[in-house]
Amino acid sequence: MKSRNRLFSYLLLLITAVSCTVQRTQVDHIWHRYHHEPNTVLVAAHRGAHLSVPENSLPSIDEAIKAGAHIVELDVRQTKDGVFVLMHDKTLDRTTTGTGEVKEKTYEELKQIRLTNHGEVTAYHIPTMEEALLRAKGKILVDIDFKADGMQARFDAYRQIADLDVTDHVIFFLYDYTEMATLHAYDPRIKIMPRAYDTEQLDEIIKSGLTDIVHIDASYYNDSLFHAITQRSPIRIWANALGTPDQEEAAGHGGYAKLFEQMKYINVVQTDFPEKMVVFIRGRSESQP
């Protein structure tokens, strides 16, 4: 009987270990591509994959995973009582049945309203950042577009990310690259992605050595500059397909082909149509020698 119990315990531990490995496989695979396959373009789903479900909703995370995206971009704001929730706009008006500013509402008040999708009321609630991170855990990276005010809010978000054991799942987007040093010192495990609004900021970000990913603007992109950058050190160059490239691709006018002709060295692309982009990237990879 004792040997049978020991065998059962061993099998239970083995099953648990295998389950944990399977849970982490997708994220591990994405990070492997991120670090070891610089020519592989990673796809980021803007506000989740939200064609058929509300943006910044839990189902939009599920849809991004289903589409084959590597990263889901989510917007985070803070309620009056300090809860981090997913919401792009300052106000609730466009995407929910509520009205007014998010920061003027308590989380209990937000729980009473529902998300809308293209004006239609849905059964979905406004998710917390915690719910979103747990939904994504083990399956997809999360780019947090952090819109709450103040450095203390950033520290609080970092603490919650650490408490949930998802520091290795997050890319934390910064509008102001000068915040990099403070946040890196607070928790260097969380990957920072600052936005460079011009070549001077881009140079400062790269020189800092605090990150290996930067969000760039098409306004200053040129192939010779970014070829030189990628030759110096491995770096992920994030650009948007939002707007014209997405619209032209959806209309059948080759928007994605034009994007990569114009920006040869980008290797992370954010899109409102992650499924289309995944298919395009796959076809592009297969056609290259």
Asked whether the predicted pLDDT for residue 5 surpasses 90, the reply is no
The pTM for the full model equals: 0.90
Asked whether the predicted pLDDT for residue 24 surpasses 80, the reply is no
Confidence of residue 14 (pLDDT cuts 50, 70, 90): low
Do 59 and 42 form a contact (C-beta atoms < 8 A)? no
Confidence of residue 25 (pLDDT cuts 50, 70, 90): low
Residue type, 127: P
Q: Say how many domains are in the chain.
A: 1
Q: Is residue 180 one of the residues assigned to a domain?
A: yes
pLDDT of residue 234: 87
Q: Is residue 255 one of the residues assigned to a domain?
A: yes
Percent over 90 (pLDDT), the chain: 87
Asked whether the predicted pLDDT for residue 186 surpasses 80, the reply is yes
pLDDT of residue 194: 98
pLDDT of residue 284: 83
Instruction: Please state, in angstroms and rounded to a whole number, the distance separating the CA atoms of residues 62 and 45.
Output: 11
Asked whether the predicted pLDDT for residue 204 surpasses 80, the reply is yes
Boundaries of domain holding 203: 37-86+130-287
Partnered with residue 170 across adjacent β-strands are 142
On average, the pLDDT of the chain sits at 92
Instruction: Please state, in angstroms and rounded to a whole number, the distance separating the CA atoms of residues 70 and 75.
Output: 17
pLDDT of residue 18: 47
Q: Is residue 28 one of the residues assigned to a domain?
A: no
Which one-letter DSSP state was computed for residue 75? E
Q: Is residue 54 one of the residues assigned to a domain?
A: yes
pLDDT of residue 232: 86
Partnered with residue 74 across adjacent β-strands are 144
Place of tokens 């004006």: 119
Q: Is residue 121 one of the residues assigned to a domain?
A: no
Q: Is residue 120 one of the residues assigned to a domain?
A: no
Asked whether the predicted pLDDT for residue 148 surpasses 80, the reply is yes
Asked whether the predicted pLDDT for residue 23 surpasses 80, the reply is no
Q: Is residue 112 one of the residues assigned to a domain?
A: no
Asked whether the predicted pLDDT for residue 191 surpasses 80, the reply is yes
- Burial profile 49-73: b = 16 or more Cβ within 10 angstroms, e = fewer: bbbebbbbbbbbbbbbbebbbbbbb
Q: Is residue 283 one of the residues assigned to a domain?
A: yes
Cα-Cα end-to-end distance for the chain: 61
The CATH number that applies at residue 50 is: 3.20.20.190
Instruction: Please state, in angstroms and rounded to a whole number, the distance separating the CA atoms of residues 122 and 119.
Output: 9
Q: Name the 3-class secondary structure at 249.
A: helix
Residues catalogued as catalytic: 46, 88
